Every structure is written in C-alpha cells, then in structure tokens.
Chains A and B, each alone.
Chain A
C-alpha cells in the first residue's frame, strides 16, 4: 500500500485545520477575557468593600436609598463578573459604564462631588477603557470624562447644580476647571503608555502565538511521519503474517473449495480490501474461472460462473496468460475504467499469478476502494503468498483428484456390489445410503438420506428395531428378508470419544442367491443323505421281492410321494412286468407293457428318464381307475450294465412336477437300485447253486455213511469168524497164519472204513464228542487193551511202554474218541518202527494234560512234516506201508473238537514225537456227561 493512500485515508485525524496555521484571536481574546475576569473580581471585592463602607455611611447619614443603590450596583457587578457566556464587549462595556456612572454620581452631592472620588472614578474609567477596549476607546472615555467634569464645573459654577457638601465652600469656576484639566493630563499620561505597552504586548503575544502554532504544526508533522512509518512497518509485518497465515490455513485445508474460500476471506479481512477473488485456469487453459470470491458480489459472480478468457479479458486474463503480476489503477498512464456493476467502489486492482513451477494455475485478484492502493512492494509480498497458495492449491487439487479417483472407485465398487450401506446418526436419521442393494430393494437414496429410520422403514419394524438396538450400542448381525430378498445385516455402532454412540454403520449384503444355493444344497444334502441311507438299506435286501418293495418305497420317500412302481424286463426281453407297486399302483402288479407303452414303456424305448408334468394331458395314456389319478409322473430307467433291467416309476396325484434335483437324485438312486437288483439276481443264482452243491455234498456224505455201514456188517462177520476160529480150534501153522491174515486185513479194512466214516461225519459236521471226566488209569487201561495185541502178535522187536507222571490229572475227554486218537498214534508209531519202543507218556504241563506218543522209528522228513495233518497225506509211500492217510487229519480234528492241540517233532532215522495237549478244564463247547457206570 502506498503512502499516498495512507495519507488520504488518515487525513481526518492527522491533517491540521486550515485556520490553525494563523495566530488565533481566540487566544488573545482569551487573555482579555481572563484580564477582564481578574479586573471584575478585584472590582467586585473592592466595590463590595466600598459598598459596605458607603452603606454604613449612608445608614449613619440616614440615607437608606443610598444603601439600596449600593446593593443594586454590587448585584449587577456580581452578575457581569460571573456571566462568562455574555459577550466580552458587553461585559466590559457594562463594567466601564458602572465606572462612568460612579464618576458621574461622584459629581453630585450625594457621592462627594468634584474633586472627590469622582475624578478617580473617571480616571479608572478612562484607563480601563483603554486597557480593555483599546487606545481609541480609552481616549474617547477620557474625553467623555473630561467633558462630564467640565459640564459639572460649569453647572456648579453657575449654581445650577449644588456642589457636593465637602466642596461647597470654595468653588470657583477656575477651580472647577482645574479638575477636568487634571483629569485630561493624568488620563492622557496613563493611557498613552498603557496603550503602547498593550500594543507591544499584543504584538509580542501574537508573534509568540504564531511561532507556537508553527512549532506545533512541525511537531505534528514529524509525529505523523513517525506514525506513518510505524504503521507501514506494522502493515508489512501484518501482511507477511497474514500471508503466512493464509498459506498455513491453506495447507491445513483438505478440500479445495474450503481452501479457496478461506483464502479469499482471510485476504480480504486481514488486508481490508474491498474484494478478493481466486481464479483457476480450466483444464484446457482457455478460461480463468472464478472459484472463490468475497461478499455478496463474489456469491453472485460465482453463481454466474464468472470466467475470463485467458490472455484477453482484464488484468486476470493478462496475468494468467503471462504469469506476471499486474496492478491496475484508475489514475496515471495505465488508467483503467472499472465498470463491474457488482463492485462499483473499486478504485484499484491487483492480480497475481498462481504459479506451480512455470505453470500458471490461476490468479489471485484483490480490489481496493482507494486509488493507487497497490505498489510494487505489495506485489512482492502478495506474490510470496500467492506462490504458497498456489502450491497449497495444487497439492489440495491433486489430493482431491486422487481422493475423487479413490472415491469414484470406491463408489463404483459400492454401487456395483450387492450390498446396502447405511450410516445412521444418533438421532436416527439416515446420513448415508449406498450400494447396489438399494436398487434391488427399490429404495431411492433421496427418500432415505436425511429421513429418520422410523419413517423410512415404517413397514419393516424389525429393521427399525435393529437400528434402535445398534444405536443403544450393541454390535450384531442379523438375517432379514426384505422385498423377497435375503439380506445379511451387520450393525456396528461407532462410539465417539465421549463413549456415546455417534453413528451406526449398517451394512447389508444381498445373500439371496447364497441363501438359495444354501437351501438347494441343504435339499440336495437331504436327498443325498436319504439316498445313502436308502441305498444302504436296499443293499441289505437279497430277496428280490423284498428288495423291489424297498426300492419303490424308498424312492417314493425320496421325492415325497406315496405312489410308485417297479417294472422289470422279462428274461426274454419281450415285455415289462410290474413287479411291485405302492399307493395307486398297488393293484397294477403283474401288468405287462410293450416297448413305448405308458411311461415305463417310453423309458424302456428311450433308455432315459421321462418326466411328465401332467400325465392326464398325454393323449395316448394308459387308462384305468387308479391311473386316471396320476398327474405328475417320472420314470427312471434301471440300467444294469449294457441293458435296461427295468423302470422305477413315481407319481403324484397333484400337478407338482418333479424337479431336476429330484430327477437327478432318483437317477442316482436308480443306478444303485439297478446294482442291488442285479446283486439280488446273482445272489439268488448263487443261493441256488450253493443249495445244489450242499445237496450233492449231503448225498455224498450220506452215501459214504451208508456204504460204510453196509461194508461194516459183512466185515464184522469176516473178522468175527476169523477171530472165533483162531480162538477155539487147533490148526496147523499154515492154516493158522491164513486165518490171521484174514483177521488182520479185515481189521485194516475196518479201520479204513471207520476212518472214511469219521471223515464223512466231519465233513457233514456230524462228528461230535461227548466230553466227560476220565481217570488216567481208565484211559491207559483201555489203550493197553486195544493195542497190546498189536505188539504181542507183531513180529517186530518193539516194546510198548506207558509212563504216567505225577501229579496224575483228570482228563476231560470223549472216552471212545480219546482212545481212537491214542490208538491211531500208537499204531502209526508201531507201524513205522522196526525195533525199539513206542512210549505213551502222560503228564501235566501248565494248564494242559499232555499225552505224548514217542517212537524210535524212521522219522518224518521235514518237507513232509508240515503236511502230515492234511488229508490223504502220508509220509512214507515205501513198500508195505499201507493206509489211506486219513488217520492223522481225523486225529487232529478230534483233538481240536476237545479244544486241544496236536503237534509233532521228528528226526529222520531217530523217531517221532506226537504230543496231544488237552485243556485241564472241560472245553467250553462240550458238555460233560455223567460218568458212566463201568
């Protein structure tokens, strides 16, 4: 800001008044006033004193009128003394008139007359006239006084007027004439010097007053200059501060519009401008667009989208084009005529470029009501501010752009996401509503934002309640159905610093599809579970009719109906026969269908599922009292391998078409059912085969037993007669040997037959043991009895030894079978032993009774040892060793029937040891029988 402008603006206070330059009459007049005051006050005091004295004299002289006169005069004196408001000349005139009257009256007898106080009064009158009203008036007063005394002198002399008493005695005209002369002489003598002195004083006074005034003016000028300098500095400082402040505030602003508006207001207010405006160059660099401006004018211009063409219009146009600051004044060489009707008082204008680097992004325009309000120094300071502002603007603009991009993206995301986003204020009004879900719900944002939830969601009390709950501070989720769609809501109260809920954030996601999928999945799961259970169940059926019934029942359950059937293709492939039916198909069992006939026939022909939404609309349908009730129907093929095995048909008596999921489930079920049917068929075949085989086996066993018996009877006779002959008669040695050969071979044959019989029984599962407690002695005796003949008759040097070790246990066994086991082992041992001993040893070991048969025979080769208990195996096929090889397998079986074990150890050339171990306590499976009476 220029000095000129400052001067002009501050002139009322600092510029001296035009008349103050000259010495004021007021000052001298004041002095005269004060002089008059002083004279009047003295005169009042003196006059008062004189009046008192006069009054006393008058009272003594008996002149009351004089007293009254004195009082009147003193009153008037006091009045003019204190009446400052009254004009100086009047006051002085009245006072002087009193003095004159005093002198005049003194000429009369009442007041002493000539030569008395009158002369003093006239002299005082004349001198004070000169003092108070100037020399001329003084001389006039003197002349008046002289004249008056002259008149009185003549009057006295002529006797027209009686002289005062104290002068009565010696009055002559001449004497009387001396009085005016004296008065004239003394009066002139006093008035002239006094006048001169007063003139000189007046001149000096005026001179000194002038000098004082000049000094004062000079001092004031100096002070003004100092003040102006100080103000300038202060302004610069303030300008810099404001510039910094504007820049700082600008830096704080996050929003460009706020920043610009704040900047213009700060600039105008702090610098006292008439107007401030910010222009930003548009994207194409074509226009400088007004973005912020102060006051009503600014608001109007912004509303009109005020813009200036870059490089063409106004100083803003110039500045934005050149990047140089410019001042516009309405005076001087560059005089501009400001004609903006909105800003009528503008007298000067400054535009500053807003530059980021070399790029001009806009302009700052300030306008003043004062002419020449801007100078280069202002420009420098403002430019600094403008530069900072420019940076802040650019930064904010970039930030806004970025934020706009982000917001746009976020908005895009939110707008295209099937969600609903709400914020609700503490008072229950919706402050934000977004998301694609709004669209789906048919909610318009305009009808939501700014309205209370109670009003907006009046028809959805659950939602209102949820918002209320959240506003009370609870965070929770909820699933709600709105307009037929499912929304998963999440309510989150946003708690402020004061621990109260400031807002509620509610997000809802459209989960309708998800829900539908879930429902479908659930249904599918249910179907699959049912399918699984069902499949497991039907797999358990092996009887065909049971199975088919289970299949149709379960299939009907799967699709929630009560009506169904299963038809199967006849083995010859000619017709479909209904094998089972439930519900309305219960009476259709046995129906026969040709390919293409009915639903099942179509399924057969097409080899795929056939679904009919309403069977009654099919033209060439099968008719019948029950069939006429069929509405929705499905036929599913039972595909077994390559061929079609049959059809599962399911029907409803109402039109409720079978869904694709149901059909799919039924197809899966059918594929399993087909396998189950196939299995059942195979099982039936296997059953029949097994039955046949069992029958054959049974017949074989029966045959075997029968044959054995049939063989035994004749053999008994052979053996018996041979024994009988040998027992009684004496034969020659030849004959005896022949008979013994018959007996021995008969017995061998008998053993073989017995073994065969046992084997047949074992195979038929008919061999049982009768376990009872046996004493060892008893067992041994029987074994001896059975076998001693073998050793006695034998022609080999083999001894039979029995050893029973302490403690002697009780044996739980079948008497006959145990004997058979031991006899078998002993006879084997004997058979394979050429010389030495066969030893039967009985002992207790742990929880077993061990029956050991040891021989000193040929032994068994290791490779044969492991097969020794298998059927039809015999270790030695050397000559003379006969036998069917059935003995040891039977022995093993018998031992195992007792719950015991048998094992063998053998060394070739040294002999074998067979050990039978029987449990010390009876075998659980075998019932001990009462001991036989022997």
Chain B
C-alpha cells in the first residue's frame, strides 16, 4: 500500500471522472460533504486537462464512458500518476474489467453500485485521514 501521510489541514484533492451526470453529481456531493475538494470530469479529455494542470491526491476513474474507456487513460497516465502519489480508484459496473485493471497496476477496483460510506472511508484511509 502506497499512501502518504498528509500533514496540515489542506483538503484532499480528488478528480472524479464519470460520464453519467446523475452519478457524477451524487459522488461529488457525497465526497464534498465528507470534506474533500472534488473536481469533476465528464469525458476523458476533461480528465486529461485536469491531470495535466493539477495534482490530485485521488483519481476516481470510471471505465465505460459512452464510447470511451477509462482504461485508455489509465494506460496513458496510470503509472505516472501513481508515481506522483495519486491514488487511483476504479469504479465500474463491469466486473470483467477487474483483471485488466490489475494488469495496469490498479489496486482498488470497486464495483458499482458503490456504497458512498464505503467510498469515503476508503479515501480517508488512503489519504491518511483515518487509520
């Protein structure tokens, strides 16, 4: 497990990539309510832009995004992000992507529907806010 101890009170920055608006809005609100600083990307391109310009502590990545696949972005940037200390959590309704994600070095693969409490607890543990 590779996570850093966070110091100070600066909020955990999270990039949430999810194409479905309802879902994205739900996760964003729940994470914001839990005290995280959340940026939202509805497409792979938006996510690429965010990742190019900002550092995120956690990248929450959906796989099936219309015609796009989140795994493409993970292939592009996954290793780099993890080296920069970004924790990657994959959310997917399709169990069949688990194996692929493991190959790409992704440790956290959560199957939708994801319990909001479970997701926030995991993020807190990863960012050292909760042991």
Which residues of A are in contact with B by a Cβ distance under 8 Å?
709, 712-713, 715-717, 719-721, 723-724, 727-728, 750, 770, 785, 816, 929, 932-934
Contacts and interface: CB of A to CB of B under 8 A. Distances in A.
Contact of B93 (A716, A720, A721, A728): A716
9 contacts: A709-B93, A716-B93, A716-B113, A717-B23, A719-B113, A720-B116, A728-B30, A770-B99, A933-B1
A720 B113 contact: yes
Nearest to B2: A933
B113 A715 contact: yes
Given A712-B93, A716-B93, A727 B116 contact: yes
Given A721-B26, A724-B29, A713 B112 contact: yes
Contacts of A785: 118
Contacts of B107: 932-934
B7 interface: no
A716 B112 CA distance: 7
A712 B26 contact: no
Contacts of B115: 723
Contacts of B102: 929, 932
Contacts of A929: 102
Given A709-B94, A727-B33, A717 B117 contact: no
Interface in B8-65: 20, 22-23, 26-27, 29-30, 33
Q: Which of A715, A719, A750, A929 has the most CB of B within 10 A?
A: A719
A702 to B, nearest CB: 13
Contact of B26 (A720, A750, A770, A933): A720
A-B interface, 7 closest residue pairs, ranked by CB to CB distance from nearest: A716-B113, A717-B22, A720-B26, A716-B112, A933-B107, A933-B1, A719-B113
A712 B107 CA distance: 23
A750 B112 CA distance: 10
Contacts of B27: 720
A65 B90 CA distance: 210
Contacts of B94: 709
A712 B114 CA distance: 11
B1 to A, nearest CB: 5
Given A712-B113, A716-B112, A750-B113, 7 more contacts: A712-B112, A716-B23, A720-B113, A727-B33, A770-B98, A816-B95, A929-B102
A728 B94 CA distance: 29
A198 to B, nearest CB: 189
Q: Which of B22, B27, B94 has the most CB of A within 10 A?
A: B22
Contacts of B20: 713, 717
B85 to A, nearest CB: 15
A727 B93 contact: no
Nearest to A710: B93
A785 B1 CA distance: 21
Nearest to B105: A933
B73 to A, nearest CB: 20
A721 to B, nearest CB: 6
Contacts of B117: 723, 727
Nearest to A766: B96
B1 A723 contact: no
A715 B112 CA distance: 10
A709 B97 CA distance: 13
B118 to A, nearest CB: 8
Q: Which of B20, B95, B118 has the most CB of A within 10 A?
A: B95
Contacts of B114: 716, 720
Contacts of A816: 95, 111
Contacts of B98: 770
A926 to B, nearest CB: 14
B116 A713 contact: no
Given A709-B93, A712-B93, A713-B93, A720 B33 contact: no
A39 to B, nearest CB: 185
B89 to A, nearest CB: 13
B30 A724 contact: yes
Nearest to A768: B99
A713 B26 CA distance: 13
Contacts of A934: 1, 107
A854 to B, nearest CB: 27
A720 B23 contact: yes
Given A709-B94, A716-B93, A727 B30 contact: yes
A723 B34 CA distance: 14
Nearest to A747: B113
Contacts of B26: 717, 720-721, 724
Contacts of A750: 113
Contacts of A721: 22, 26
B18 to A, nearest CB: 11
Contacts of A713: 20, 23, 93, 112
A712 B93 CA distance: 7
B52 to A, nearest CB: 27
B26 to A, nearest CB: 5
A728 B113 contact: no
A932 B2 CA distance: 12
A644 B115 CA distance: 71
B25 to A, nearest CB: 9
B88 to A, nearest CB: 12
Contacts of A719: 113
Contacts of A717: 20, 22-23, 26
Contacts of A728: 30, 33
Nearest to B120: A727
Nearest to B107: A933
